[in-house]
Structure 1
Amino acid sequence: MVLRSRADDDRLVTQVAGICARAQEPLVLLERVAAAVRRHVPYDVAGWLLVDPDTLLINGVYEEDVPRQAQLGLIELELGSHGDDLNKFVDLGRAKVPAAALSATTGGHLERCLRWTRIYDPEGFGDELRTVFRTGAVMWGHACLTRLAEEPWFSRREVDVVARLSPHVAHGIRTGLLLNEEWSEEAHRDDGPGLVVLDDDGGVESATPDALERLGPVEDGRLDGSVVVHEVAAQARALAERCVSGPPAVARARAVTGEWLLVRGTRLAGPAGRTAVLVEPARRSDVAPLLLHLHELTAREREVTQLLLTGMSTADIAQQLWITSETLRGHVKAIFAKLGVGSRVELVARLSHEPRVRSARGS
């Protein structure tokens, strides 16, 4: 197997960031990402999947040579009551690092994993690398890369570089889904995304009413002079042209109405240089990291907060962080005071993802 340098890792991240910065249908995006990753992190079979972020159920698959029976068996184990299985996608979605190799998790004893003994071993497969594509606490898809039994296990370096791709792929999936929506007035939701299209000189070619309402009307200059719109568009252009590396073209901003927004940029296809900027209401989980910074939580307090939001018990949190229960209580007390909450329930209500609800007309 070819040894890769860290410069090669950086080039892969820049390449995938460029792919994800261009508007495209999500399954097409996954196919292109898979081709780039496979050249750098070789594997024999793989499933690249889209999921519903509210239910985590699969709603799209790009598969590479996965035997059908193995595919069905993996789905059954993932959704079944086998809570002791390892590296489940739902657990990776809450983990600090959004990727893991089965060989590392089992300490080299693959037989400790239920799906390896039931599915991979009989099919002649060895190590598995899993990753999730998430923005904040919201998951938009995941991937499962597997090697044959005679191939080397996935290295720590390979896991790390795949983990670095997560926010870019999540951003690409989300923007692709948004742009594939109907933009007619009849289909446009009141709480859905707005759209601004900019040319390469920063001029506004078009904008939907929702975008104008949230960012300000074009005629008084507020939209044309909005820093966040132009910053996000510039980052999307640079990523798509692979002029820079860095985070996806996403920013959190306040609307003129006071609500928090997510502003996303993506490069549009076609000969004319155009960039779409999507403006949507932010979920609480999208804003939570920013709120933690605004309220001046320390790095340890932010770490404790994230663990509290997973539902982990205080005893387990103390054990995982290698601190005493008394020290943990001090952190929790400080967190509650800074965020103005009095209980874990109030903390979750303030920071976690809430389901989106649409009522029938006239109700």
Structure 2
Amino acid sequence: MASGNAAASRLVERVARICVRAQDPLDLLAEVAAAVRAQIPYAAAGWLLTDPDTLLMTGVYAENVSRTQHLQLIECELTEDDVNKFFDLAERGVAAASLSAATDGDLSRSIRWRRIYEPNGYGDEIRGVFRSGGATWGHVCLTRAGCEPWFSTAEVDVVARLCPHIGNGIRACLLLAPPTGRGDTAAPALVVLADDGSVDAVTPQATELLGALDDERLQRTIVLHQVAQRARALADGGHGPAAMARVQGASGNWLVVRGARLASDGDRPGRTALVMEPASRSDIAPLLLQLHDLTPREQEITALLLTGMPTAEIARRVWITTETLRGHVKSIFAKLAVNSRPELAALLSKEPQVHPP
């Protein structure tokens, strides 16, 4: 890494400039990766988008990561008790951490290192969490070759400084980037994945909604494997968020992907069905509230406003005065750019499909 605080500050400033330009989120991650790689060398990386509710990955800009390695890492992340898991870092509010520090210098304490990194010649890693507005919008994993030095504390600190800018950038992209076309279809799309990640069956609408499913880099199809692995984990008695994620499809409009484990069929390998359909406003409503930085209390009040409950009753329900409630409502309306309850209901109601404004 280029030495000195000045070089680190220049990198942070450069990434901040990249992240204030509205563009496709994956293009943003590619540009950020080029800037970071020039000062913090690494052998492989995954720059990831996530659904802020379930934290399942919905897109990836990958560097030197094979499809097989992606699938192995997804399985390990969602099924094993390992160190520095993305879920744990997000829950603890840790912006960035290295594997060498988390294992006290004994990388073999990490399941993913033993199972995936060591056999493929990799050593230390940095993981970072892209947070903005109290929600997690993506992650990053930078990995060095086994023969290279471990990541230094200074390098981890720089990545931690970058993460909030990248979180803000992803969030701005989702807020500001216009859809590139509708591409909606009346019928839901169905994909059946075998447990080895291969496509067992697919309907024509799947390609229309999400794009080509044979992408070796899993750039936009990683969401299918994430939801499928979550469904497998839940079926095996695991715990965690639902097997569901929201993702921008090939047209730029929002889709909902839901997974369900299929019953075993004789000697056939296990399979998971994935249903994709255009998102309704009710599907996107929680995402809209996070995009517009509503506080947890404002989200709670928004849900009560949508029920039609009188103002005085809402105030009693959340244990605040009506004057304080009016202040919250004013803030909610301003953040969502509406002027009344009917406009709020129209924005967040069930129909029709929407793209965040």
| Alignment TM-score, normalising by the size of structure 2 | 0.52
Separation in 1, partners of 2:38, 2:70: 23
SS in structure 1 opposite 2:158? helix
Q: Deviations over 1:308-352 (max 9, x none)?
A: xxxxxxxxxxxxxxxxxxxxxxxxxxxxxxx979xxxxxxxxxxx
Amino acid at match of 2:135: V
2:151 aligned with 1:154: yes
The letter for the 2-side match of 1:72 is L
Tell me: CA distance 1:127–1:110, structure 2 relative to 1, closer, same or farther (3 Å).
same
Instruction: Note the 1:242-257 alignment, pairs <5 A.
Output: none
Give unmatched runs, 5+ long, in structure 2: 185-289, 300-317, 321-344, 353-357
2:49 is aligned to 50
After superposition, where does 1:91-110 map in structure 2 within 5 Å? 91-110=88-107
CA distance in 1, matches of 2:104, 2:24: 38
Report matched runs for 1:80-95 at 5 Å: 80=79, 82=80, 84-95=81-92
Which residue number corresponds to residue 284 of structure 1? Answer: 295
Q: In structure 2, do the counterparts of structure 1 residues 162 and 359 end up closer, same or farther at CA, with 3 Å as the change threshold? A: same
Offset, 1:137 = 3.0
Where does residue 111 of structure 1 map in the other structure? 108
Q: 2:135 aligns with which of 134, 138, 146?
A: 138
Following the alignment from structure 1 to structure 2, what is the Cα–Cα distance between the partners of residues 145 and 57? Answer: 18
| Residue 145 of structure 1, CA deviation | 0.4
| 1:360 alignment partner, one of 337, 344, 350 | 350
Aligned 8 A contact 1:136 1:285 in 2: no
Q: Which amino acid aligns with 1:283?
A: L
TM-score w.r.t. length of structure 1: 0.51
> In structure 1, what is the Cα distance between the partners aligned to 2:166 and 2:35?
12
Paired residues for 1:103-252 under 5 Å? 103-182=100-179
Q: Considering only aligned residues, what root-mean-square deviation do their CA atoms show, in Å?
A: 2.9
Secondary structure at the counterpart of residue 93 of structure 1: helix
The Cα shift of 1:361 comes to: 5.0
SS of structure 1 residue aligned to 2:27? helix
Distance in 2 between residues matched to 1:179 and 1:160, nearest whole Å: 30
- Matches of 1:286 and 1:174 in 2, distance apart? 20
Distance in 2 (alpha carbons) for counterparts of 1:361 and 1:136:
26
Displacement, 1:94?
A: 2.2
Deviation at 1:181, TM superposition (A): 4.1
User: 1:182 and 1:286, CA in 2 relative to 1: closer, same or farther beyond 3 A?
Assistant: farther
Residue 283 of structure 1, CA deviation: 2.4
When residues 181 and 106 of structure 1 are mapped into structure 2, their CA distance, relative to the original with a 3 A threshold, is same
Identity over aligned pairs, percent: 53
2-side partners of 1:280 and 1:10: how far apart?
A: 27
Query: C-alpha displacement at 1:22, in angstroms?
Result: 1.0
Report the Cα offset of residue 96 of structure 1.
Answer: 3.7
CA–CA separation in structure 1 for the residues paired with 2:155 and 2:109:
22
Q: In the aligned structure 1, how far is the partner of 2:4 from the partner of 2:100? A: 22
Distance in 1 separating the partners of 2:296 and 2:90: 13
What is the letter of the counterpart of residue 115 of structure 1?
R
Alignment gaps of 5+ in structure 1: 188-278, 289-338, 342-355
